[in-house]
Amino acid sequence: MIVYPNAKINIGLNVIEKRKDGYHNIETVFYPVNLMDALEIVPSVDLCNNYNIKVSGEILGGRPEDNLVVKAFNALKLLYPDKILPVDIHLHKHIPTGAGLGGGSSDAANTIIALNQKFSLGLNDQEMEIIASKIGADCPFFIKNKPVFATGTGDVFSNIDINLKGKYIIIVKPNISVSTQDAYSEIIPKCPVKKLPELLSLPLDTWKDNVVNDFETTVFKKYPEIAAIKDKLYDLGALYATMSGSGSAVYGIFNKQINFIDEIFAGYFCRQREMEY
């Protein structure tokens, strides 16, 4: 079985308050984009191990057992030890890591979806979301894979009426990784005057002056190269451009396809896609 975990972007991100547990309450919109990894899960002939995993494409650091795909597998194996048989997993990474695009979370969620189907576990979307939530705050988003307004720590979802289908998106990631801790380091939480869903109901060409990502203040100060990418996207005619999540990827939304982007952003990860959602 092969599935194709897709990325997401954050449209707006407001840091509302710091919680007593040390985390922060935020509000943002998660929106799916068709930049994808590939995940293959097949029965294994090695019956001595619950799983074997191979990762290709972008090089990932850390131990295999720390991969979110493995964590998703182990979570289901713990719940269904007799139903889930040994598997070989091949994950081909195309979504860049450390970018704010949710690639690892999407891989984990799609592992749950694939195992549920392959081993006929009978889990519905809500049950899969509960399992995914134990792996990461934004993992449940990728179960239904539809735009949502996210609050809490990014783990409380509500429906939002927003549609970018037919627009074009350019995603650019420099050779910089931004730690979440650094992104939060100088943030002063505050409640916005207007809620994000209200701002996103306005015409797209008004978002530039109204819809903000609070992390940009901290990140752009430390990494002016990322700020320069946003400026370049506006120079190219973006209706709206911003950093996704805590970065370091920046995206721009356009009415039409832009030519020669590989030359324009030479040396960076850069992809252009037509929005399908």
Active site residue 138: yes
Burial grade of 189 (CB within 10 A; 0-12, 13-18, 19 or more)? middle
- Asked whether the beta carbons of 8 and 33 are under 8 A apart, the reply is yes
Query: What sign does the CA torsion over 163, 207, 198, 185 have?
Result: positive
Looking at the DSSP bridge assignments, the partners of residue 39 are 3, 91
**Cross-strand bridge partners of residue 86:** none
Tokens of 159: 């429906």
- Whether 262 sits among the annotated catalytic residues: the reply is no
Catalytic one of 138, 155, 173, 230: 138
Strands, sheet with 250-254, edge to edge from the N-terminal-most edge strand: 240-243, 250-254, 168-173, 269-274
| Rounded alpha-carbon distances, angstroms, from residue 78 to 50, 72, 83, 267 | 11, 10, 10, 43
Closest CA to 96 of 251, 260, 225: 251
How far apart (Å, rounded) are the C-alpha atoms in residues 265 and 251?
12
137-174: b (≥16 Cβ within 10 Å) or e: bbbbbbbebebbbbbeebbebeebebebeebbbbbbbb
Q: Please identify every residue annotated as catalytic.
A: 8, 138
